[in-house]
Amino acid sequence: MWGPSYGKADIESGSPALYPMMTERPDLRWAFIRKIYVILSIQLLLTVAVASIVVTVHPISHFFVSSPAGLGLYIVLIIIPFIVLCPLHVYSQKHPINLILLGVFTLSLSFAVGLTCAFTSGKVILEAVILTAVVVVSLTLYTFWAAKRGHDFNFLGPFLFGALMVLLVFSFIQILFPLGKISTMIYGGLAALIFCGYIVYDTDNIIKRYSYDEYIWAAVALYLDVINLFLALLNIFRAADT
């Protein structure tokens, strides 16, 4: 808890505390948060660049849908991020291995996102990008505002995990028994709500709970939230556009 002397130090340093329960120097936590958002920005810019190349260079997407080798490579690209997550979690605090693994993770996931966008109209992609940006910025600002006033979102963890399990089962059923456009839109809507919750939850953890050495894992968590929210919105708009 704050002590009188610590509150005085905060005022003198000119670094406002992020939340009332802060027990550390605010300037250190702010530096940690800035570092995470710089990494996240680089990841998103890399994703946009790779996805744009895949979408605009048509022979790339044509190769993946017209040949068995391309299909096999596409499956590998989808699996790689899940494989890399394990060593990335283990070596998340070991430089420069963590940055190399983060690069592999981001590139492979960016390629998969690009292939998804390659078979989607530009209007739908633009709508999903704009709405994703608005939602992410709004929820981030709200979470910082709420944390400043002492609100805590740690209670969301179990509920979000349970909802994510339901979503995974739903997607598995969809693969085995496609239920049509309405089902796709319902799935996309549920996924969007869940990952909106995860953006609030993970942002709250970045403000309060992650240690300074966990910046890579914190950036990965937020990056996955943003990408999954974009893909969920893309599913909704794509189903509505057909």
pLDDT digits (tens, 9 = 90+) for 98-136: 889 999 999 989 988 988 888 888 888 899 999 999 999
Q: What is the mean pLDDT of the chain?
A: 83
In this predicted structure, what is the pLDDT of residue 175? 73
Cβ-proximal residues to 121 (8 Å cutoff; 6+ apart), any chain = 238, 241
CA distance 1 to 91: 32
Distance CA 188, CA 236 (A): 5
CB 195 within 8 A of CB 135: no
**CA neighbor of 32 nearest in space, from 154, 213, 153:** 213
Q: What is the structure's pLDDT at 2?
A: 36
Answer yes or no: is pLDDT of 200 > 50: yes
Q: Tell me, what's the pLDDT at 240?
A: 78
At a CB cut-off of 8 Å and minimum separation 6, what does 109 contact?
47, 81, 227
DSSP for 192-225, written as a single string: HHHHHHHHHHHHHHHHHT--GGGHHHHHHHHHHH
**Which pLDDT tens digit goes with each residue over 62-95?**
777 777 776 777 788 788 888 888 888 888 788 8
Mean pLDDT, range 170-190, rounded to an integer? 79
CA dihedral 150, 33, 112, 179 (to 10 degrees): 0
pLDDT of residue 46: 94
What tens digit of pLDDT does each residue of 19-62 get? 544 556 777 888 889 999 999 999 999 999 998 888 888 887 77
Alpha carbon distances (Å) from 227 to 53, 110, 185, 191: 17, 9, 17, 11
